[in-house]
Amino acid sequence: MTSARVEFRSSIDELDAHEWNTLSGAHPFARHEFLAALEHTGCLGPGTGWQPRYLLLRDAQGLAGAAATFVKSHSYGEFVFDFAWAQAYEGLGRRYYPKLTLATPFTPATGPRLLVRPGLDAAGVAAELLGALERDSAAHDLSGVHALFLDERARQACVQRGWLLRRDCQFHWTNRGWKSFDEYLESFTAEKRKKARRERRRVAESGVRFETRFGGELDAPLLERIYALHRDTFLRHGHEPYLTPEFFAEVARRLPESLMVKLAVHGRTVVAAAIFFWWQEALYGRYWGAAADHHSLHFEACYHQGIEFCIERGIARFEPGTQGEHKVSRGFEPVLTWSAHFIADRQFRAAIAEFLTREGAAVENYALEVQEHVPYRGRRTARGGA
């Protein structure tokens, strides 16, 4: 692709949606509509610390490769924590911000980062994209480029370019072809199966029932209720949510089938809501909120209901978000997630590489230890991968 032309654009609206989506495929967080909803509703852009900078490679046939990157003036909303790196830079009188982040904003989910038109040499185009990002960061005096929650193609491309790899651990559920939730529970040990059934029974006995609504089925009053519940969860932790109510309204309109909400209803009142995005390969748990304290409601809304949805629709895996060892007893297993980092300063690059070697060993040991506590009969071997 030596004849490809490199371009940068500051808004997704400057890019043709069909052309972009031909590269992104069906993954909801990579699609033009999702990024447009973030921009249009003030989640990205001036004053947010997330300045869009879309990298494009064009050839004679059009858009050959692309990457959604963002010039960052802080490290919030990324979920791969580099605050200590920034502090170390600043402690020596150097500037860590601005930096360039290759990620889906506010979304700790593995997905495509280096988009390539079908039929092209994917490895070659990915390498050109990364090279363009390296040159762009140097040209604009950025401290580095940080590629977060990488799929395998992007991870391998970063390895080939010599970027520093970083591991983290999440807890994912894998669909092994169960026909029902009861059949799924039969794979548990007796003790864990009894606990899961007791949790579900407690929610049902409290009079709470669940409704599944997709984006196209959410009217304005219901969206307001869902957002208020979601916002309350953030306020309990001392800060406002990253996303605006307008974002949820727009993404419900633009991606009506990709947005799914589980409503917990008591009588005629929505007492809790769990917000998900999905496609056939994965379900992503994103946000939750509750206005009433029903026993085990969080576990039912955010985990059991999501697993049941995956079983019913044959969805391959369920990524419920970051952190939370409590997920393990409910069928989620430790999985390594990956980021890659291009650090411009050679001295800091060497220091960070040494740190990542130590951290990576600790993360892998942690995953192995947690795997010993999964509820499945005869499954005690840790899994890795993106």
- Note the pLDDT tens digit of each residue in 125-153: 999 999 999 999 999 999 999 999 999 99
DSSP structural state of residue 251? H
CA dihedral sign, ordered 350, 354, 357, 360: negative
SS3 assignment, position 18: helix
Helix axes of 122-139 and 152-161: crossing angle, nearest 10 degrees = 60
Among 36-50, 275-289, 315-329, which is the least confidently predicted range? 315-329
CB 99 within 8 Å of CB 90: no
CA dihedral sign, ordered 150, 153, 157, 159: positive
- Note the pLDDT tens digit of each residue in 214-272: 999 999 999 999 999 999 999 998 999 999 999 999 999 999 999 999 999 999 999 99
Arithmetic mean of pLDDT, 1-20: 91
DSSP structural state of residue 4? P
One DSSP character per residue, 97-148 reads: -SEEEES-TT----B--SEE-TTS-HHHHHHHHHHHHHHHHHHTT-SEEEE-
Q: Token pair for residue 105?
A: 């904003």
1: pLDDT confidence band, cut at 50, 70 and 90? low
Return the pLDDT at 379: 65
CB 12 within 8 Å of CB 36: yes
Arithmetic mean of pLDDT, 114-118: 98
Say yes or no to pLDDT of 382 above 70: no
CB 168 within 8 Å of CB 155: no
What domains sit in the chain, N to C, each tagged with a CATH number? 5-169+335-371 (3.40.630.30), 176-315 (3.40.630.30)
Helix axes of 32-40 and 245-254: crossing angle, nearest 10 degrees = 150
Q: 359, exposed or middle or buried, with CB in 10 Å at 0-12, 13-18, 19+?
A: middle
Say yes or no to pLDDT of 384 above 60: no
103: pLDDT confidence band, cut at 50, 70 and 90? very high
One DSSP character per residue, 218-232 reads: --HHHHHHHHHHHHH
CA distances from 313 to 85, 149, 280, 337 (A): 42, 25, 8, 25
Say yes or no to pLDDT of 383 above 70: no
Q: What is the mean pLDDT of the chain?
A: 95
9 DSSP β-pair partners: 54
Cis peptide upstream of residue 245 (ω within 30 degrees of 0) = no
Arithmetic mean of pLDDT, 51-59: 98
How far is it, in rounded angstroms, from Cα 210 to Cα 204? 9
Buried b (16+ CB within 10 A) or exposed e, 136-165: bbeeeebbbbbbbbbbebbbebbeebebbb
293: pLDDT confidence band, cut at 50, 70 and 90? confident
Number of C-alpha atoms within 13 angstroms, CB side, residue 305?
Answer: 28
- Which of 349, 361, 355 lies closest to 163 in space, CA to CA? 349
How far is it, in rounded angstroms, from Cα 227 to Cα 246? 10
